[in-house]
Amino acid sequence: MKHQAGSPPQEVRILGGQWKRSKLPVADRPGLRPTPSRVRETLFNWLGQDLTGWRVIDAFAGTGALGFEAASRGAREALLFEQDPALAAQLQAVRTRLKAEAVRVQRGDGLAALRAAAGQGWNAVFLDPPFDATAVFEPALRAAAAAIGPEGFVYLEAPRPWSEAELAALGLALHRHGRAGAVAFHLLRPLAA
């Protein structure tokens, strides 16, 4: 969809799985920055196309692109957290439209939800907080590290690359990383893995 440079797209599409090409609306909200398609494509190439049986958390869901993408590729549980009531309602509407039984949308604080998920052995946690919420990155990474299992992954989108030393202090190791425009993206593993 065409949009003016600098303005967010009005929709994104699911790239793979049972809902491939399904549209997800993008609300005009400050700080809402959907994961670019080519970044999502790279991420799911890294994770594998088939996530059958996986349990994932999309802690700052926004458009839900990461959580719905995982569910489309077979995740048995995709928990989407969104603080903004209008965005949470939009996520719920998409869930209903797609008949996405594996997706659960919860309005609330993604960081608090991650902390509550400690020790639950999730397969993946997706972290894509608003870039201006700099204070949330470190505690979110620490909580995500505690929520995933020993073979789990944490995906981080940030305005800058995170160093191996910074990540190690939070219990995580850099597995893969890339950059697309202003977005630095990282796939992380538990340090012990």
Q: Return the HEC string of 67-98.
A: HHHHHHCCCCEEEEEECCHHHHHHHHHHHHHH
What pLDDT, in 10s, does the model give residues 56-110?
A: 999 999 999 999 999 999 999 999 999 999 999 999 999 999 999 999 999 999 9
Q: What are phi and psi of 140, to 5 degrees?
A: -65, -40
pLDDT of residue 193: 54
Relative to beta strand 172-180, strand 183-190 is antiparallel
pTM for this entry: 0.92
pLDDT of residue 9: 57
Stretches where the chain sits below pLDDT 50 are 1-6
